[in-house]
């Protein structure tokens, strides 16, 4: 069981650390509203997360727009040395809360689509003449068969998962921005899209002129203003995100009433909730460790069974004279 609130808590620690560094600028130097991680910068005034990348210029169907260095580069438009957890932290700093990657329901025996706040993705790079080019990310792709350009594509902040030992799984898999669904991707498409090779739709658009290794900046911009925390129940069948409340949906009196309701029902239990959450994660973590140990023991037993079966078969099979 994975809790995105815990992921957000851990990554907010990164944000706090970056903010502390940011706050050490001498008073005589006005601090800019920009925070930096390796290969990632967060411009809070412009509401942008900027990620340093390199073009891959592959000639094959695509499953990703962006992966980390050493990830599945043979299926992606660009790669980046950035850690997905740092990009996640940057989006948290822009008041965006993750939804969820696709999930499998054992009860329903089916997958549910990823969901989360919508993200606009664009790129910047310099052409052969040294001019700065700015394009929507979709311009770097085209249709595999018709070679038509990608007219429109929506991405959402799914948020990957955190393993029982605390590891952020997108850091391990290298999945940053997907074009088809993966369980541990950071940014995905808000619909069920198969990763089967015969259904892949997009390939790199060579007409843009990017060469392998060329520097590209990927720019992530939230489309939802303010803090968003979508719920799966609020998504549409098409995979859209839950709309956030604005002045046209609820007035100040209703907001105040909802706040009072929350404070009366939830706030008094803050300490108990924290203790319960801590115990929950300790128990789940220990169960996962025991589960892994059982899996490893089962693998050892299976290897022994296979070896003994092989030896028995060799001893009992008639040999030609």
pLDDT tens-place string over residues 271-315: 888 888 788 877 887 887 888 888 888 878 888 888 888 888 878
pLDDT tens, residue by residue, 144-188 = 999 998 877 889 999 988 888 889 999 999 999 999 999 899 999
Q: How far is CA 74 from CA 123, 172, 218, 267, in A?
A: 20, 17, 18, 50
Q: For 78-128, what is each residue's pLDDT tens digit?
A: 999 999 999 999 999 999 999 988 888 787 788 888 999 999 999 999 998
* pLDDT range class, residue 252, cuts 50, 70, 90: low
Q: pLDDT tens for residues 181-234?
A: 998 999 999 988 888 787 888 999 999 999 999 999 999 999 876 544 444 443
Predicted local distance difference test score (pLDDT) of residue 253: 64
For residues 239 and 137, give the distance between their C-alpha atoms in angstroms, rounded to a whole number: 20
Mean pLDDT of the chain: 80
pTM over 0.85: no
Q: What is the pLDDT of residue 240?
A: 39
* pLDDT at residue 23, rounded to an integer: 36
Question: In which band, very low, low, confident or very high, does the pLDDT at 321 lie, cut at 50, 70 and 90?
Answer: low
The residues near 104 (Cβ < 8 Å, ≥ 6 apart) are 110, 111, 112
Instruction: State how far the Cα of 54 lies from the Cα of 50, in Å rounded to an integer.
Output: 13
- Selected residue with higher pLDDT from 253 and 131: 131
Nearest to 49 by CA among 14, 89, 83: 89
Residue 85, number of CB atoms within 10 A of its CB: 22
pLDDT in tens, 49-76: 999 999 999 999 999 999 999 999 999 9
């Amino acid at each position: 069981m994975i809790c995105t609130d815990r992921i957000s808590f851990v990554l907010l620690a990164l944000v706090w650390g970056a903010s502390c560094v940011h706050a050490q600028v001498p008073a005589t130097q006005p601090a800019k509203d920009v925070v930096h991680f390796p290969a990632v910068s967060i411009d809070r005034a412009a509401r942008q997360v900027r990620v340093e990348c390199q073009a891959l210029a592959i000639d094959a169907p695509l499953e990703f727009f962006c992966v980390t260095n050493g990830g599945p580069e043979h299926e992606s438009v660009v790669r980046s040395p950035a850690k997905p957890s740092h990009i996640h932290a940057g989006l948290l700093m822009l008041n965006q809360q993750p939804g969820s990657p696709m999930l499998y329901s054992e009860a329903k025996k089916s997958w549910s689509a990823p969901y989360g706040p919508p993200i606009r993705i664009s790129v910047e790079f310099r052409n052969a003449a040294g001019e700065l080019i700015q394009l929507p990310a979709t311009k770097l792709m085209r249709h595999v068969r018709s070679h038509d350009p990608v007219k429109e594509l929506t991405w959402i902040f799914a948020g990957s998962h955190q393993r029982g030992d605390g590891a952020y799984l997108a850091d391990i898999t290298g999945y940053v921005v997907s074009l088809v669904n993966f369980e541990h991707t950071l940014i995905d498409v808000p619909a069920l899209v198969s990763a089967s090779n015969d259904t892949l739709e997009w390939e790199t658009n060579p007409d843009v002129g990017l060469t392998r290794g060329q520097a590209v900046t990927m720019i992530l911009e939230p489309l939802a203003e303010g803090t968003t925390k979508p719920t799966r129940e609020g998504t549409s069948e098409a995979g859209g995100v839950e709309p956030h409340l604005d002045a046209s949906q609820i007035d100040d009196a209703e907001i105040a009433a909802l706040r009072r309701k929350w404070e009366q029902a939830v706030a008094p239990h803050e300490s108990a909730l924290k203790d319960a959450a801590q115990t929950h994660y300790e128990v789940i973590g220990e169960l996962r460790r025991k589960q892994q140990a059982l899996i490893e023991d089962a693998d050892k037993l299976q290897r022994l069974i296979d070896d003994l079966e092989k030896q028995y078969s060799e001893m009992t099979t008639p040999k030609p004279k």
